[in-house]
Structure 1
Amino acid sequence: MIKAVIFDFDGTLLDTESCAYEAFGGLYAEHGHVLPLEQWALGIGTHGSPFDPYVDLQARTGLTMDREALKARFEAELLAKADCAELRPGVVEVLEEAKSLGLSIGLASSADRAWVERHLEAKGIRKYFEALRTSDDVEKVKPDPALYLLAAEALGVKPEEAVAFEDSLNGMKAAVAAGMPVVVVPNPMTRHMDFAAARADLIIESLADQPLRAVLDRIGTVAKQA
């Protein structure tokens, strides 16, 4: 029986992944180049991507780049875009339904706590989450399963009693490694990823497509209510 739902944050609840791509893509555009999405996407949901956009941009332009200055510009632009972004469709409705079904609600994010807390509070959904686990809590972020295991532990459930909601391969792999069924809700930055081959239990276009109970039914793990 499923007793909890655990959500990723970036790209799943709030599409900050598109914000990040647009922010760094603007730096590329200034020099007449396009940021390659498939390479950029290698770092979605994790830290330490094999693709370094700073090195790539410098190689493409042949210019010596001030990495710290570029990073500061990117981070400022990302924050501005994220602050203006809206929750992905269906987020509030799914959280409300999870609450009404008596499910515990957690969050597992490779981002740092300050970033997650800032946006949960600003978007008015912090109140739904009984447990948050972020990069501040682990040595290794996704695709390592530690974040999901800690979130499940904090909610007082076994990993197999929780359903993870993810948007990226790195996040999905973390949940699978933790022993959780996974529902993938791709965003524009991750739709090209092969989630089926990587063993996603269910792939849906949007959290607004169907009620949460229907999603749980489709993966054969609906929470029975008295």
Structure 2
Amino acid sequence: MMDLPESLRSVRALIFDFDGVIVDTEWAIFQTWSELFARHDVELKLETYAQCVGSDHDAWDPKAHLEELCGYALDWDAVLPEKHAASRRLMAGQGVMDGVVEWLDAAQCAGLPVAVASSSSHEWVHGWLTKLELRERFVSLSCRDHVERIKPAPDLFLHAAAQLEVDPAAALVIEDSANGTAAAHAAGMRVVAVPNRVTAHQDFSKAWRRVGSLAELTLADALEPVGR
């Protein structure tokens, strides 16, 4: 284990969001929703759709929004399987997002345990991490199956901190969405925000740092203000 620089000593663990942070799944999902809206001659604005990113359709429901715009009900049992299949085809070739592996390597060298806290299902997150040969890099996965409330509630991050056996204030979160950032902030955690093309317009004023990509800076550089 390497000696921690002064800037890292107040941080005891890292907690990653999954969708949009480790793998860029969110753009494909938005694209297929947008295409579905277009087939019904209505527009899905990115800013409108992004309300549910990092959370679920209780935060904002694209199905209800589409029916409201087009003025009639849809047979979702027929529509959704086709839409989900289209999303999976677009995601099929996705790899790990830039900088993630380097951050995981740096955390390992620094002796910092790492977890995932995701509003997606355990099956989804575990399946992707296994496919990407990253599952063993994470001590635990905290997913929607494990808590009563998902983001923007703090439950997922508090669950992750408990699994890592660290005080929430000693965990640093990597997030891409306003819902996730609000959840981490409510849990008493600091956030490095890494917005993507779906969430770049959102408010990240509660984040500790904001970067365009994890590849832009090292873990130590990202944490430089921590503990000052």
- Aligned match of 1:205: 212
> Structure 1 155/77 Cα, relative in aligned 2: closer, same or farther at 3 Å?
same
- Aligned pairs for 1:89-100 within 5 A: 89-100=98-109
Q: From 168, 183, 189, give the equivalent of 1:174.
A: 183
Distance in 1 between residues matched to 2:31 and 2:127, nearest whole Å: 20
- Mapped pair 1:12 → 2:21: yes
Q: What is the aligned partner in structure 1 of residue 86 from structure 2? A: 77
| Structure 1 residue 50, shift from structure 2 partner | 4.6
Q: Is the 8 A contact 2:22 2:97 kept in 1?
A: yes
Deviations 1:76-129 (A, max 9, x none): 222222232222111111111111111110110010000001111111211110
Give the Cα–Cα distance (whole angstroms) in 1 for the partners of residues 163 and 227 of structure 2.
21
SS at match of 2:152: coil
Moved more, 53-62 or 167-176: 53-62
- Counting only pairs closer than 5 Å after superposition, residues 1-226 of structure 1 correspond to structure 2 as 1-196=10-205, 199-217=206-224, 219-221=225-227
Once residues 45 and 180 of structure 1 are traced to their aligned partners in structure 2, the CA distance between those partners, rounded to angstroms, is 17
CA distance in 1, matches of 2:73, 2:117: 37
Q: Give the corresponding residue for 2:3.
A: none
| Whole-angstrom CA distance in 1 between matches of 2:59 and 2:165 | 35
Task: Give the secondary structure class of the aligned counterpart of 1:5.
Answer: strand
User: 69-78 vs 95-104, which deviates more?
Assistant: 69-78
SS state of the match for residue 92, structure 2?
A: helix
**Runs of 5+ unmatched residues, structure 1:** none
Structure 1 counterpart SS, 2:223: helix
What amino acid maps onto 2:145 in structure 1? D
- What is the aligned partner in structure 1 of residue 7 from structure 2? none
Runs of at least 4 residues of structure 1 off by over 6 A? none
Q: How far is the alpha carbon of 1:69 from its aligned partner? A: 1.5
**Distance in 1 between the 2:111 and 2:161 partners?**
15
Q: Percent identity?
A: 37
Secondary structure of 1:139's partner?
coil
Contact 1:42–1:49 under 8 Å retained in 2: no
| TM-score normalised by structure 1 residue count | 0.91
Partners of 1:120 and 1:137 in 2: CA distance: 18
CA change 1:207–1:45 in 2 (3 A) is same
CA–CA distance in 2 between the matches of 1:83 and 1:221? Answer: 41
1:182 partner SS: strand
CA-based RMSD of the aligned residues comes to 1.5
CA contact (8 A) 2:21 2:174 kept: yes
CA contact (8 A) 1:83 1:119 kept: no
> What is the number of equivalent residue pairs in this alignment?
219
Higher mean C-alpha deviation, range 55-64 or range 72-81: 55-64
